[in-house]
Amino acid sequence: MKNTKHIYALILAFLFLVPSLFAQGLFNTKEFAKVSKDKNTKVISVQSNKNYRVSHLRNAIHIDHSKLYKEEGPGGVLKPTNEIAQILGDLGVSNTNNLIIYDDGDNKTAGRMYWILKYMGVADVKILQKDMKAWRSARIPLTPAPTKATKTTFVPSLDASIYVDTKWVKANLNKVDVLFVDARAPKEYTGTDGKSPGHIPGAINLEWKNFGVNGGVLKSNEDLKKMLTAAGITPDKTIVLYCGTAVRAGLPFFVISSLLDYPNVKVYDGAMNVWSANASNPVEK
């Protein structure tokens, strides 16, 4: 009888544990090991094609995020919703899955994929930090064998609250409660790198690399809050993140919206590539 009660208690603990872990936004290795066997949980690798072929988490579905962008026009602009949904469904990803993403280690591509999936309407999306030392310690299985896709249906439900386009940027450019944050390197922001024309007027610069430490592990929530506050990025403002193509804006979006729970965080899709393609759009240096 005691054993039966003990087993029942363990089952209840697990049932409450899984959703609580998914609510946190960021998985460490131990947490991942506990939920990765859940049938509705799917792991997505957004590693480079080369690195995925060398080694990846067993059963991880590989997504090349560059395949989700339009081929014509400024680089980095998302394809139409139905095309992205078709690609994801063909790869075996459903909007009802619990999704765990990881990349080659710096969380840049994982952050981009996180925003795309949230924009497409997936409720449960989390990032697993690639800490190889911790992975080996936990004996997380790796393999070079590609995961075979079982096609499914992805039904998009766009979250327009986290997306802005050029029309929105123009309409909100001078509003005091809207803060544009450029996640590129300082020389790109100032237009002194020889390639960038500068930045969106009034935008501040906080490079995406500042959100992590060596090895791709993110800073603590306390340190992240201090960094954002010092930069003037506060929860009372609408935060609009951008970079060259919106790829580097993904990790700051994940941190600010998911880990720190700021209420109004958006990404400018296409970003400076789209903004600077129109000569009538103002640019500062």
Is 120 inside any structural domain? yes
Residues sharing a CB contact under 8 Å with residue 74, sequence separation 6 or more, in sequence order:
270, 273, 274, 277
Q: Examine the pLDDT at 5 and tell me if it is beyond 80.
A: no
Domain match, 121 and 187 both: no
Domain match, 184 and 53 both: no
**What is residue 24's predicted lDDT score, i.e. its pLDDT?**
52
- Expressed as residue numbers, the domain containing 20 is 2-143
Domain match, 233 and 170 both: yes
Domain match, 125 and 86 both: yes
Is 151 inside any structural domain? no
d(CA 123, CA 131): 25
Which of 111, 143, 175 delimits the end of a domain? 143
Q: pTM for the full model?
A: 0.90
At 66-86, the pLDDT tens digits run: 999 999 989 999 999 999 999
CATH classification of the domain holding 266: 3.40.250.10
Q: CA dist 146 to 26, 48, 57, 83, 261, Å?
A: 25, 13, 10, 23, 35
Amino acid of residue 167: K
- What element of type H or E holds 34? helix 29-35
Domain match, 212 and 263 both: yes
Which of 85, 118, 143 delimits the end of a domain? 143
Q: Examine the pLDDT at 10 and tell me if it is beyond 70.
A: no
Residues sharing a CB contact under 8 Å with residue 132, sequence separation 6 or more, in sequence order:
105
Domain match, 192 and 270 both: yes
What band does 138 get if pLDDT is binned at 50, 70 and 90? confident
Q: What is the mean pLDDT of the chain?
A: 90
Once rounded to an integer, what is the mean pLDDT over residues 7-24? 38
Q: What is the number of structural domains in the chain?
A: 2
247: closest CA among 136, 70, 149, 112? Answer: 112
Domain match, 126 and 175 both: no
Is 24 inside any structural domain? yes
Is 16 inside any structural domain? yes
Domain match, 65 and 174 both: no
Is 119 inside any structural domain? yes
Is 152 inside any structural domain? no
Domain match, 20 and 122 both: yes
Q: CA angle 132-136-139, nearest 5°? A: 135
Which of 113, 143, 173 delimits the end of a domain? 143
What band does 9 get if pLDDT is binned at 50, 70 and 90? very low
**What is residue 37's predicted lDDT score, i.e. its pLDDT?**
78
**What is residue 6's predicted lDDT score, i.e. its pLDDT?**
46
Tokens matching residue 270: 């296409």
DSSP lists the bridge partners of residue 26 as 127
CA dihedral (53, 213, 249, 152) positive or negative:
positive
At 155-173, the pLDDT tens digits run: 999 999 999 999 999 999 9
